[in-house]
Chains A and B, each alone.
Chain A
């Protein structure tokens, strides 16, 4: 799986950090930051949850 984020769309709700804490963080401006761009195994489910919960469609995933 590959994660790409569009921080122009990010609204800083923090849903990704709550749902996949080791994979996403918020930078000093509160915007999405990817910690692991190529997660695998059980992390994939957490990322998909984060994608669904993101209110602004700022996270794109491919290759899973």
Chain B
């Protein structure tokens, strides 16, 4: 794999005939230091695959999340997301202390207690989607009919999107994440329409505040309305396709491991096992820093591979096994450090409610295809399933 003389390792691009996570990650973890590689965009990057090293990269103050800094890894596939650094309020691309004002304003909206209060709402959204699915017959395409609409409807409810606008909201967010079925042009239109819609929504909430996230953020005054558009867009994008991919992959894994259906520990193990956001955490060193025995120079890009860390046998016993009973639970599926997923408890609640309700109400649920014909997302930033045909 190493290109002679240069010490540069080919980037493990996901392909339909290669399992996920890429088997090279095990080899990368066993090497001394880190792996020097080049992204498909031509951008040089250090690949980090050991659990301990990934957690260090995601917490060290000498390492930045700011995509406008020189050397920051540039990934081509954006899934219709506008260039991160161009949107005010896109705070995943900010470092402390600038980052903290945004995070602090949002924390109470996603606390364990707040998410618990949202559970009946999530339940009724899931019930309605399953009602509609069952009313149509004895088969469904679970990504389009359950996995994508649930997170979209949940976040639009939390944000305060009026019920009459939720279909519009859901259709545009779906366009945004459907890598295979829409063109770059269609995604650009959807992004612009959504940003315009969010601006109108924020203006509406300024005039007529309600009991919702956008109204509360406007009322506490810590964020400017123009920053709020970016914040809301970020919440929408961060929580939509990621959650949908986790829901769909989880259904397949639980169908293959039925004894874990109904066990609440399955959710975090599914998150670890699938690590859908493997390629999402990108960083750049702002000072020289040593990680895993490797000197990274200031200005060099770093890619902590989430699936690498989550399958590290230095941290997890038998990491290739799907075992919700494992006692080591410190996976990094939601990242680590100050940017660790803000909505993680919402995602857990959505997954738990979807699995419990789906398998209770549709006990004969089965794949309507053979596992080898499932269409996995080898072509996007996130790992997942394009479609999931099921029958009952």
Contact = CB atoms under 8 A, between A and B. Distances in A.
A24 B335 CA distance: 22
Contacts of A49: 329
A11 B112 contact: no
Interface in B83-116: 103-104, 107-114
Contacts of B59: 55-57
B298 to A, nearest CB: 23
Interface in B109-127: 109-114
Given A13-B340, A13-B344, A55-B338, A29 B104 contact: yes
Contacts of B58: 55
Sort chain A's interface into a size bin.
10 to 19
Contact of B110 (A19, A30, A53, A56): A30
B78 interface: no
B316 interface: no
Contact of B329 (A14, A29, A31, A53): A53
B340 A26 contact: no
A6 to B, nearest CB: 13
Contacts of A14: 110-112, 344-345
B264 to A, nearest CB: 11
Given A13-B344, A18-B112, A26-B112, A55 B337 contact: yes
Interface string A25-59: 11011110000000000000000010011011100
B108 A56 contact: no
A28 B330 contact: no
Given A14-B112, A17-B112, A53 B337 contact: no
A56 B340 CA distance: 9
A56 B112 contact: no
Nearest to A17: B112
A38 B342 CA distance: 29
B107 A31 contact: yes
Contact of B330 (A13, A29, A52): A52
B336 interface: yes
Given A55-B337, A57-B59, A26 B113 contact: yes
A25 B109 CA distance: 15
Interface in B324-341: 329-330, 334-338, 340-341
12 contacts: A12-B103, A12-B111, A13-B342, A14-B112, A14-B344, A25-B113, A26-B112, A29-B108, A52-B330, A53-B329, A55-B340, A56-B59
Given A13-B340, A49-B329, 13 more contacts: A11-B103, A12-B111, A14-B111, A14-B112, A26-B111, A26-B112, A29-B107, A30-B107, A55-B59, A55-B335, A55-B337, A56-B59, A57-B59
